[in-house]
Amino acid sequence: MRLTRFLTIVSLCSVFALAFAGCTNSNNNESASPSNSSAPPASEQSSASPSANAADAKLEELGLDSNLRFKETRKITVEIYDRGNTGGTKPEDNVYTQFIKDGMLRDHNVEVTFVPVPRWTEGDVINNLLAAGQAPDVAVTYSYPTIQTYANMGGVTDLAPLVDDYKDLLPNLWGYLTEDNINWDRDPNTGTLWALEARLNTLNRINTFVREDWLKKLNLQAPTNLQEFEDMLIAFRDNASTLLGDDADKMIPFSTSYDVGWRTDHLTTSFIPDNITDKDLFVYGFDDRHLLYPNYKEGIRTLNKWYNEGLVWKDFPLYPAGDATEDNLMKAGFVGAFIHNWDYPYRNGADGITANLHNLVGPDANYIAVEPFPNDAGVYRKFLSAPVDRKIFFPATNKEPLASMFYLDWISKIDNRVYLQFGEEGKTYEKMPDGSYKTIAATDEYIMNSPANIDYTITSNGLDTGDPDLTVKSLANGYDGVDARLIEVANQITTHDGRVGKNAKAGEIKAEEGQGQALSAKRDAFLDQAVVAPVDKFDAVYDAGMKDYLNSGGQAIIDERKAAWETLYGSETMLK
């Protein structure tokens, strides 16, 4: 008898609890007396007993009691990101890990040990751990190609039979991730499932920010189109003395970073035709900076023009990931506009950009989110992620797959997620009259090393109180020293006119294996070179860089994706 069928019988067993001693559910462990007047007729008892016995036998086979606790303690290891936060807590040993350990031991008799992995080199470290056969039982990465590579070598557990056969044991996991996220990566040809996709609760991605106080000082309105945005940058440049006084020579009208693709996305994607098909989004969408979408080059051309007119930070290509130079320029008040993560200037409390601006410039010195880049249809299109996030997988060395699945189910339970997101009332948050949560900056063992503890809520990224209205209000409350108005505006704009990614369900694209990091590095390098090139050299630099990108594996991926789409959908260009 399949486990799903058998577990359905277990759930029905409670109906007959008064008739069968020992047939219990997790909420009632007391057996009723057979002589109880509400007991069913003997004929019903005799027909139900074999099924009840089969259910008990199956639980026994799995080593579980009727409350889904292992009769003998099981042990698992779980990956946790180490972000190296100054003043933070040990990621593998703190209040929150203890909450999880205590809960898993209490509810499932499973001992959990956390294994720290450096966040910023997690891809390389997971690679090395997998190669050595030492990866944690429950592992997490943003890189699906890494998982696919090791799956092809026999190093990853196929999760398909686990999620299918244990479905009735995992109500929180299935209820939270739903069929879509659980089966997002299931191969349509082989049926294998190498990873589960965590749920991205909010699709907030990036925003365009401008100095609100500078707009007021120059009597400018917030820009609503490309020309107005460019005119604003020119006004910042030409009025540097008015805005910065003795520091006029430090004026940076528009700032970006070496990662031009991410940091100018609202500008570049505004050049993409609004009628782009789902087919093209899939075929060319493996680069998450949208590099290969039609007309993208014209967005970079605009940046090149601005750079040569002194509107863009001239030193932006010199500083690698993690360097604080650009942030320090923003904190000092020298940057007029930039594009970045949707809430970037509001983060980090007293150490953040907004707090420093208030201290150095004044309380009115704020960055505000704006929408200045309509596309050819007049739409402020944002290409948003599908509602998926980190990829959760079990290395083949995992000897406790059911205990590991219970772990994923446990952290998906709403009560556990809310505690991990918000912490302890009176220590890390206060409950507001409207029921929302307001974050309190912790300075002791309750410090969270990641926003809303997303490194522990690995099936979930982003606040989720279970009530959408309270979630939005709690989100706005969560930025110490920042006017909630700024958060509300940023939250509204970042997904406005968004086009959410869809799942083409094409399965493995073999040409992508091992290519992600190399192609990303090539992309970043040639985009930087194209932006800083003399205007009359732009086309030559951009085209040479794109040719190298395509010849280095990009074209092979495009070709395989195109073939996969046409095999699945023929001449159709849109997903239903």
- The two tokens of residue 561 are 């994706």
> In order of start, what are the domains of the chain with their CATH numbers?
3-62 (no CATH), 74-201+387-466 (3.40.190.10), 206-383+478-504 (3.40.190.10)
pLDDT of 17 strictly over 60? no
* SS3 call for 458: coil
Distance CA 366, CA 364 (A): 6
Instruction: Give one DSSP letter per residue of 118-159, joined into a string.
Output: EGGGHHHHHHHHHHHT---SBEEES-HHHHHHHHHTT-B---
Distance CA 3, CA 5 (A): 5
Give just the sign of the alpha carbon dihedral 174, 178, 179, 182. Answer: negative
pLDDT of 313 strictly over 70? yes
pLDDT of 442 strictly over 90? no
Distance CA 181, CA 200 (A): 10
CA angle 477, 483, 485 (to 5 degrees): 85
- In whole angstroms, what separates CA 43 from the centre of its chain? 54
Tell me: the pLDDT tens digits for 240-297? Answer: 999 999 999 999 999 999 999 999 999 999 999 999 999 999 999 999 999 999 999 9
Distance CA 47, CA 34 (A): 15
Res 50: pLDDT: 64
Tell me: the pLDDT tens digits for 461-503? Answer: 989 999 999 998 898 888 878 998 999 899 999 999 999 999 9
Distance CA 275, CA 281 (A): 11
Distance CA 302, CA 531 (A): 9
Tell me: the pLDDT tens digits for 514-542? Answer: 787 889 999 999 999 999 999 999 999 99
Count other Cβ atoms within 10 Å, centred on residue 201: 21
Tell me: the pLDDT tens digits for 187-217? Answer: 988 999 999 999 999 899 999 999 999 999 9
Tell me: the pLDDT tens digits for 105-136? Answer: 999 999 999 999 998 888 888 889 999 999 99
Counting Cα atoms < 13 Å in the Cβ hemisphere of 249 gives 1
Place of tokens 């420093």: 356
Distance CA 152, CA 150 (A): 5
pLDDT of 372 strictly over 80? yes
